[in-house]
A and B are shown apart, each in its own frame.
Chain A
């Protein structure tokens, strides 16, 4: 309880501090350059030039420290050894590309990158198309969207229970193995089968992300101008043709946004792998491997190098986003 009070207290101090800063800095600015008197015009010009930076200041400082500085610091760390004391040049990079576990992670990440965004988008599109046509569509949407609120680790437990394995002969309490046995198959320890275990982990992320894709694609589908659809109906197009030939081309932009958003998430996937296999049985991914070296292996050089690889993989999406933003601005 006292801890919650501490949190609330700190929060109150933090919020009060923020307000005090914004209010105080504005008052001080107005004192230094008052908008009245001989120099009024000049003062207003000066204070107008400074004020945006007062508003932006805290955000810029925090962004700079938490997101910009680490990128450069990681580059430096990556050319030093485990303890960040001795310069080792490109040794970490050379080690990286000869390391079997790293190559395995890279390969798995590529698989994740292809499968998860693709299937999430397909299922999201399917869910959007279906739920927009039924009366109980809003409830259906809510339920499909729900996994979005569940933590990766919570979702991992939910699915680990589904994939649970008991030796042959005893009753299976995992849904998947129960189904397999019901249809006459042999139960398997799913998450220990190399390659396929990655697929079983991907299913968790697809389950979480489909709702996101559905919500956005559904809005895009509803935003399609009625006229184009009416014209298609008049020309005798059937519902499938309307969907694939008329609707789809009009929402390609949104599909791309959904796809790239999920791509970014996939590159950073960590919790699911940590909780389900911790990279065993050939299921390692970059984010977990980086965590392994940095916080269990205590090798900051190698860890920073792996982090930079993730950064490089993210870069194309970043460039694409930035270019889109500039077009709009």
Chain B
């Protein structure tokens, strides 16, 4: 097929460009999230991430220093300072009334009411003067338009990990995920071997039942299980959620592993039997090592699924500060910090970083698992 595309260079171009467009469409959303998460939060809130490498224009409403810092110079009273805290920037316009926030160019002296004047320099230094003493507690309002250089920072990550409780949630997610990935594997592997290589009545019915269970909606199981947990006394605990994930992952685990184990060469198993090995020995010494690729496939599926799960964690773990998993935390933040994109983007990236790492490093096994699970008879 490559030959056909290669002969026709126009077609080859079309194919390459279409593929590029598709790839861009599929990666830009995530890329935008990543870029946004390392931008300065004020810049993030006022300009699109695609402009993050250019300077940002911002409209600031600041207050001058408070009247108690005023200095008397001859007859006039002066309030002065710099509107930029420490990050710098360039003022392009300023004003003293909200109706005309850009009335004056930097360096100009603006006449205000009652003989007051205001001046803002390009570097942000300002000076407000008055013939009479300033009174009250708050400073004068300054409307400033400024251009700021692009700023990138890891402060957003620092904030979400240490003050927003995401670090704690990260640990909780790990606590849920690791056992919930490992426990089903062993149980499923033994069952898969029995279904693949042992003779017993009802084997094919069991197999078909497991295929049927693959699609049972989890929604079905939530309330009955929660009731049962309460009755038994497990309640909302880690043990409960580990077992729940084990139960929900088991059909896929048995199905994937059975398909793989059934495909192993019959001679190996039969010659081992002739040599007097028991089923238990065969399983442990021959089948398990040979099944590593299938075990890895399932482990990745289960890991991604448990790590990314929100529903089961919401139902089977108490929604409290110390047990909230990352997906649950993200959901809370969407509610409480809906407009704080610096928090949301950084948190989202923390939560997807581990799955992405697993994905890119172990993609081979993931693809293999998908194929053995879905392409049946082509």
Q: A-side interface residues toward B, CB under 8 Å?
A: 1, 3-4, 6-8, 10-11, 14-15, 18-19, 22-23, 26, 30, 48-49, 51-53, 55-56, 58-60, 62-63, 65-71, 73-74, 77, 84, 123, 126-127, 130-134, 137, 140, 142-154, 156-162, 164, 171-175, 178, 207, 210-212, 215-216, 219-220, 223, 229, 233, 239, 242, 250-251, 253-254, 257-258, 261, 264, 267-268, 270-271, 274-275, 287, 290-291, 294-295, 300, 303-304, 306-308, 310-311, 314, 317-318, 321-322, 324-326, 328-329
Q: Please list the 4 inter-chain residue pairs (A to B) with the smallest Cβ-Cβ separation, ordered nearest first.
A: A66-B247, A151-B308, A59-B191, A149-B359
Q: Counting CB contacts under 8 A, is B69 at the interface? A: no
Check A321 against B214 for contact (C-beta < 8 Å). Answer: yes
Q: How far is the CA of A70 from the CA of B377 in the complex (A)?
A: 32
Q: Counting CB contacts under 8 A, is B207 at the interface? A: yes
Q: Number of residues in B with C-beta < 8 Å to the partner?
A: 119
Chain B residues with CB under 8 Å of A215's CB are 367, 370-371
Q: B-side interface residues toward A, CB under 8 Å?
A: 1-2, 4-5, 8, 11-12, 15-16, 18-19, 22-23, 26-30, 32-33, 36, 44-50, 171-172, 174-176, 178-179, 182-183, 186-188, 190-191, 193-195, 198-200, 203-204, 206-208, 210-225, 227-228, 238-239, 242-244, 246-248, 250-251, 254, 278-280, 283, 304, 307-311, 314-315, 327, 330-331, 334, 341, 344-345, 347-348, 351-352, 355-356, 358-360, 363, 367, 370-371, 374-378
Check B179 against A322 for contact (C-beta < 8 Å). Answer: no
Q: Shortest CB–CB separation between residue B180 and chain A, in angstroms?
A: 9
Chain A residues with CB under 8 Å of B28's CB are 175
Q: Shortest CB–CB separation between residue A288 and chain B, in angstroms?
A: 10
Which of A49, A59, A326 lies in contact with B187, CB distance below 8 A? Answer: A59
Chain A residues with CB under 8 Å of B367's CB are 215
Check B216 against A62 for contact (C-beta < 8 Å). Answer: no
Check A291 against B352 for contact (C-beta < 8 Å). Answer: no
Chain A residues with CB under 8 Å of B44's CB are 173
Q: Given A65-B247, A134-B16, A290-B219, is A18 in contact with B208 using a C-beta cutoff of 8 Å? A: no
Check B29 against A207 for contact (C-beta < 8 Å). Answer: yes
Instruction: Tally the A-B contacts, defined by beta carbons under 8 Å.
Output: 351
Check A60 against B191 for contact (C-beta < 8 Å). Answer: yes
Residue of B nearest to A276 (CB): B334
Q: Shortest CB–CB separation between residue B88 and chain A, in angstroms?
A: 21
Among B29, B244, B344, residue most surrounded by chain A Cβ atoms (within 10 Å): B29
Check A310 against B219 for contact (C-beta < 8 Å). Answer: yes
Q: How far is the CA of A75 from the CA of B264 in the complex (A)?
A: 41
What are 27 inter-chain pairs, A to B, with CB distance below 8 A?
A: A1-B171, A4-B175, A10-B238, A11-B182, A14-B179, A48-B199, A53-B200, A56-B191, A62-B250, A63-B247, A66-B250, A123-B22, A146-B356, A149-B355, A150-B308, A154-B308, A154-B327, A161-B36, A173-B45, A173-B49, A258-B374, A270-B219, A275-B331, A290-B219, A311-B220, A314-B216, A326-B208
Check B26 against A152 for contact (C-beta < 8 Å). Answer: no
Among B36, B213, B310, B341, residue most surrounded by chain A Cβ atoms (within 10 Å): B310
Chain A residues with CB under 8 Å of B242's CB are 10, 14
Q: By DSSP majority rule, is chain B's interface helix, strand, loop, or mixed?
A: helix
Which of A6, A67, A219, A322 lies in contact with B221, CB distance below 8 A? Answer: A67
Q: How far is the CA of A229 from the CA of B222 in the complex (A)?
A: 50
Q: How far is the CA of A11 from the CA of B212 in the complex (A)?
A: 29
Q: Shortest CB–CB separation between residue B104 and chain A, in angstroms?
A: 22
Q: Given A18-B183, A133-B5, A143-B27, is A59 in contact with B213 using a C-beta cutoff of 8 Å? A: no
Check B23 against A140 for contact (C-beta < 8 Å). Answer: yes
Q: Shortest CB–CB separation between residue B242 and chain A, in angstroms?
A: 7
Chain B residues with CB under 8 Å of A239's CB are 4-5, 8, 11
Which of B198, B239, B341, B363 lies in contact with A173, CB distance below 8 A? Answer: B341
Q: A11-B179, A210-B26 are in contact. List 15 more A-B contacts (CB 8 A).
A: A8-B178, A15-B183, A30-B278, A55-B198, A62-B247, A63-B250, A65-B247, A67-B216, A131-B19, A145-B363, A153-B331, A157-B33, A216-B375, A257-B376, A291-B219
Q: How far is the CA of A86 from the CA of B32 in the complex (A)?
A: 53
Check B218 against A212 for contact (C-beta < 8 Å). Answer: no
Which of A30, A67, A132, A219 lies in contact with B251, CB distance below 8 A? Answer: A67
Which of A67, A159, A171 lies in contact with B247, CB distance below 8 A? Answer: A67
Q: Given A67-B221, A314-B216, is A291 in contact with B344 using a C-beta cutoff of 8 Å? A: no
Q: Given A3-B171, A70-B224, is A144 in contact with B378 using a C-beta cutoff of 8 Å? A: no
Which of B46, B200, B344, B348 lies in contact with A171, CB distance below 8 A? Answer: B46
Residue of A nearest to B246 (CB): A62
Check A56 against B308 for contact (C-beta < 8 Å). Answer: no
Q: Shortest CB–CB separation between residue B185 and chain A, in angstroms?
A: 9
Check A66 against B355 for contact (C-beta < 8 Å). Answer: no
Q: Shortest CB–CB separation between residue B160 and chain A, in angstroms?
A: 12
Check B348 against A321 for contact (C-beta < 8 Å). Answer: no
Which of A130, A175, A271, A324 lies in contact with B50, CB distance below 8 A? Answer: A175
Check B215 against A58 for contact (C-beta < 8 Å). Answer: no
Check A67 against B213 for contact (C-beta < 8 Å). Answer: yes
Chain A residues with CB under 8 Å of B344's CB are 157, 160-161
Chain A residues with CB under 8 Å of B200's CB are 49, 52-53
Check B224 against A220 for contact (C-beta < 8 Å). Answer: no
Check B327 against A70 for contact (C-beta < 8 Å). Answer: no
Chain A residues with CB under 8 Å of B243's CB are 62, 66
Chain A residues with CB under 8 Å of B178's CB are 7-8, 11
Which of B183, B279, B315, B352 lies in contact with A51, CB distance below 8 A? Answer: B279
Q: Given A144-B26, A160-B334, is A74 in contact with B220 using a C-beta cutoff of 8 Å? A: yes
